[in-house]
Amino acid sequence: MSGKVYLTGAGPGDPELLTIKARRAIRQADVILYDHLVNEEILKEAKAGVLLIYVGKEDRRHTMPQEEINAKLHEYALKYPKVVRLKGGDPLVFGRGGEEALFLAKNGIAFEFIPGISSAIAVPTYAGIPLTHRGINTSFRVMTGHQAACHKCGKDHGFDAGVLRENETLVILMGLHGLEKIIASLVKNGASPSTPCAIIENGTMPTQKCVTATLATIVEASIVMNSPAIVVVGETIGLQEQLQWFGV
């Protein structure tokens, strides 16, 4: 009998935002394969003797290819009852959890998703930026700043941020590295250069930092920022001065 893999969200960084179910899985795990954005304080929840394996992916530097991570999950599930695949944020929000689950299913390995609080929601909240606010907007959209090749043809069609609707807040995960392309795409698709924009670094952590500007000036403002960071675009950023609470 093979074990079970728990594809688990570790939340956005603050250890207190870890869910009860995720904490239980970590405490019971025989093996934990964890990502770069997992706060190491969370790993202290693991039991003595647990096998900890770092498989993090940083910008332009991957510790282990995805195919090898898949193979490791399969390998350890055949040896141990409980394997935790620990990911920053939520495993199914640009976390490749779906890919890993499909691989496990294909190979007859049981799995379970344990959702985590996504940085797409938590980080703007910690910066005092609502994703929705009555009278300002009615929706929000989340996208990645990394443009992968088309899964159908394998070609790179260039970055397209789509059209920023008037009543929308846009959250871009992993958006700092490709910021110039993102902003150029938004403006090309009709967004006003005066649209408010924010970059939040190390969101939910004591080292959190935020800069605000407009689409026209955010690239220049971003030179003091580092990854991990997310980009927020939209009129709700105008509420930040009144709604700042974290670290104040």
Average pLDDT, the chain: 94
- What is d(CA 11, CA 24) in angstroms, rounded to the nearest whole number? 14
- Among 57, 72, 181, 209, the active-site one is 57
pLDDT at site 57: 76
The confidence band for 146, taking pLDDT boundaries of 50, 70 and 90, is confident
| 90 part of the active site | no
Residue recorded with tokens 């955010």: 218
Is 174 tagged catalytic? yes
196 or 147, higher pLDDT: 196
Query: In the numeric block, which tokens belong to residue 218?
Result: 């955010």
Is the pLDDT score of 147 beyond 90? no
The pLDDT of residue 210 is above 70: yes
Q: Is 57 a catalytic residue?
A: yes
| Average pLDDT over every residue of 78-105 | 97
pLDDT at 150 exceeding the cut of 80:
no
- The answer on pLDDT for 163 being more than 60 is yes
Q: Which of 87, 90, 143, 174 is catalytic?
A: 174
pLDDT tens for each residue of 164-209: 998 999 999 999 999 999 999 999 999 999 999 999 999 999 999 9
Candidates 126, 129, 119, 122; CA nearest to 93 is 119
Orientation of helix 97-106 relative to helix 66-77, angle to 10°? 50
Of the candidates 30, 35, 87, 90, the residue annotated as catalytic is: 35
Residue 35: its pLDDT value, please? 96
Please tell me the predicted confidence (pLDDT) of residue 241.
95
**CA 205 – CA 215 distance, rounded (Å):** 26
- HEC per residue, the chain: CCCEEEEEECECCCHHHCCHHHHHHHHHCCEEEECCCCCHHHHCCCCCCCEEEECCEECCEECCCHHHHHHHHHHHHCCCCEEEEEECECCCCCCCHHHHHHHHHHCCCEEEEECCCCHHHHHHHHCCCCCCECCCECEEEEEECCCCCCCCCCCCCCCCCCCCCCCEEEEEECCCCCHHHHHHHHHHCCCCCCCEEEEEECCCCCCCEEEEEECCCHHHHHHHCCCCEEEEECHHHHHHHHHCCCCC
Cβ partners under 8 Å of residue 36, min gap 6? 56, 57, 58, 63, 88
Section 114-122 average pLDDT: 98
What is the value of pTM for the model shown?
0.91
Q: Which of 5, 9, 56, 66 is nearest to 31 (CA)?
A: 5
Is the pLDDT assigned to residue 214 strictly greater than 80? yes
Give residue 248's pLDDT: 77
* pLDDT recorded at residue 111: 98
Higher pLDDT, 224 or 57: 224
Range of weakest confidence among 18-27, 146-155, 201-210 = 146-155
